[in-house]
A and B are shown apart, each in its own frame.
Chain A
Amino acid sequence: MGLLRPIASRLAALVPVVLGITILVFALNAIALGDPARAAMGQRADPETLERVRREYALDRPLPVQYVAWLARLARGDLGESFREQRPVGDVLVERLPATAQLAIAATLISIVLGVAIGALAAVRAGSALDHVLMALAVLGISTPVFWLGMMLALVFAVTLGWLPVSGYGDGALRHLILPAFTLGALHTGTVARMTRSSLLEVVRQDFMATARAKGLSEWAVLGKHALRNALVPVITVIGIGLADLLVGAPLTETVFAWPGVGRLLVAAVGQRDLPVVMGAVLLFALVYVLGNLLVDLAYLAIDPRMRDAARA
């Protein structure tokens, strides 16, 4: 009840942001040093083709006209053509998307399960040596550069112990997914653990917890049924923040493990100055990020009715 308006207002707030995103991505091409059309066609360019590309992309017109032309193509799902591969950027992205999605989902699951478990354990034993060790590990997880962590995990579990492959996709085999997923999830595991711990401790001190205890419920029932649910709101915030970590970590993790995802595609495209692919990948990352944050917002609305009032105010 009353969910429609807050959802609508959030969607409306997205419009300027998404437009802004397209302007910034378009700017990548507009401020790129050198002639985009010539760069696109390379040495092979004959004058007629060059002229056709210029006209098609409105490159001979003022920037606002170019932007509108580009936006119109974008609306039709046309992201342009890769300089390097001479085929539509959309096709290239779609090809790489499953590997990145697989990695991101695995990393998220790891960070939530591991982070909530570590945070809850630390909260139950708050102030103990275990608490300190776990929280120190969490800080370490947050501060360790993703790509170095990946290399160290590969060094221990692949090179030294030989349990897992050093790198590669292996046609999506689980063995290949484990190291990249733990690498990408580590940073966020630390954040989730810290947030779970502090929000559990916050909830535990509130009155309804005393009521639950007074009713004679066991400590685990009190924590599991009452505390955890109420501690969920900040945890969802952190999952939203974690999305940024995931997207930022993806290019690095994918490069370390030769994982054929969108992140590695982006890095390679920047190295080759394949601007249409760069723009497509950056746009994709930004849209996933914005949509992810929208989902987090909507999850708030579902869990915490107070947010609905806040949205109305």
Chain B
Amino acid sequence: MPPARRPQRHAGFVVGAILVAMFAAVSVLAPVLAPEDPHAVAGGGGTTLDPPSARHPLGTDALGRDVLSRVLWGGRVSLAVGVGVEALVVVLGCAIGLIAGYFGGPIDAALMRVTDVVMAFPSLVLAIGLIAVFERPGLDKVVIVLVALGWTTVARVVRGEVLSLKTRDFVQAARALGGGHRTIMLRHLLPNALAPLLVAATIGVGGNMVAEAGLSFLGLGAQSPTISWGAMLADGQTFLANAPWVAVFPGAALLLAVLGVNLLGDGLRDLLDPRLRT
């Protein structure tokens, strides 16, 4: 592929890495960076729906809470859900993908039919439907639902890698040397599937963040007092006409964070997995 066709390749990766690093740093340091208590009603002597000012750089919301502080704290929830869900998804997806790819046969067929069915649903629609199973919504239910539905992509990626690897000489050699199923799967197959796994997981983090924000926006995710960008946007919509800052800033934060993760994922794919280049 001539380099001219994708001149922004590394630029995108670098921008993504910077955005993600900033997002992570700001989220971790939110308690230090936030000028006010994000839950303090009319905090710091502000009043409700104040426009951005020196005292409240991003204004205040309908309860007089400092929007900047809430945006910073909201990033923690977004990051925690995005990464936390993906970590569980990777563990579950790897286990299923390894078993399906390695043992093949009816186990593989059954597992792949299940992924077929889960993937036959538009993802967020099924997530919304699954929330109805619980008696009341909450961030914990969002995590359960996203993990329950998210493992399919990872499982497919790992299974595909295992299928192409398991007949290779080094695996045969490991088996000849007396390696058990577990050893072969965890020591020989999984490490060789790491590159595509990393790409899928990175893109998955972005998807989880959008899904959490979407569900919370719909009122089916994080409930007050949990601070979530999606829930903040739902509040913001009510006051869009007279206090747009309540909606503008959490959404902009979400956009930058997701953009960063997506650029990083695209960049990783280009770097690690030349076959997937578009």
Contacts and interface: CB of A to CB of B under 8 A. Distances in A.
Chain B binding surface SS class: helix
A65 interface: no
Contacts of B263: 139
Contact of A32 (B114, B118, B133): B133
A135 interface: yes
B132 A20 contact: no
Interface stretch (B26-34, B120-128, B153-161): B120-128
B147 interface: no
Interface in B209-252: 210, 213-214, 217-220, 230, 233, 236-237, 240-241, 244, 247-248, 251
B192 interface: no
A16 interface: yes
Contacts of B240: 151, 154-155, 159, 166
A28 B132 contact: yes
B151 to A, nearest CB: 15
Contacts, number: 150
Residues of A contacting B: mostly: helix
A126 B210 CA distance: 31
A273 B132 contact: yes
B220 to A, nearest CB: 6
A281 B129 contact: yes
B255 interface: yes
A105 B137 CA distance: 32
A147 B217 contact: yes
B130 to A, nearest CB: 7
Interface residues of B, number: 50
A296 to B, nearest CB: 14
A285 B130 CA distance: 14
Nearest to A154: B240
A24 B132 contact: no
A62 to B, nearest CB: 20
Interface string B1-26: 00011011000100000000000000
A21 B117 contact: yes
A24 B135 contact: no
A251 B121 contact: no
- Most B C-beta atoms less than 10 A away, residue of A135, A136, A145, A266: A145
A145 B121 contact: no
B134 A33 contact: yes
B132 A289 contact: no
Contact of B131 (A195, A270, A290): A270
15 contacts: A20-B117, A33-B135, A126-B5, A139-B12, A143-B206, A145-B214, A151-B236, A151-B247, A154-B240, A155-B247, A159-B244, A248-B124, A251-B125, A271-B220, A286-B125
Interface of A: 16-17, 20-21, 23-25, 28, 31-34, 126-127, 132, 135-136, 139-140, 142-148, 151-152, 154-155, 159, 166, 194-195, 198, 201, 243-244, 247-248, 251-252, 255-256, 266-267, 269-271, 273, 275, 278-279, 281-282, 285-286, 289-290
Interface of B: 4-5, 7-8, 12, 113-114, 116-118, 120-126, 128-135, 206, 210, 213-214, 217-220, 230, 233, 236-237, 240-241, 244, 247-248, 251, 254-255, 258-259, 262-263, 278
Given A145-B258, A195-B278, A270-B128, 11 more contacts: A20-B120, A24-B121, A139-B262, A143-B206, A159-B240, A159-B241, A198-B5, A251-B124, A270-B131, A270-B132, A281-B129
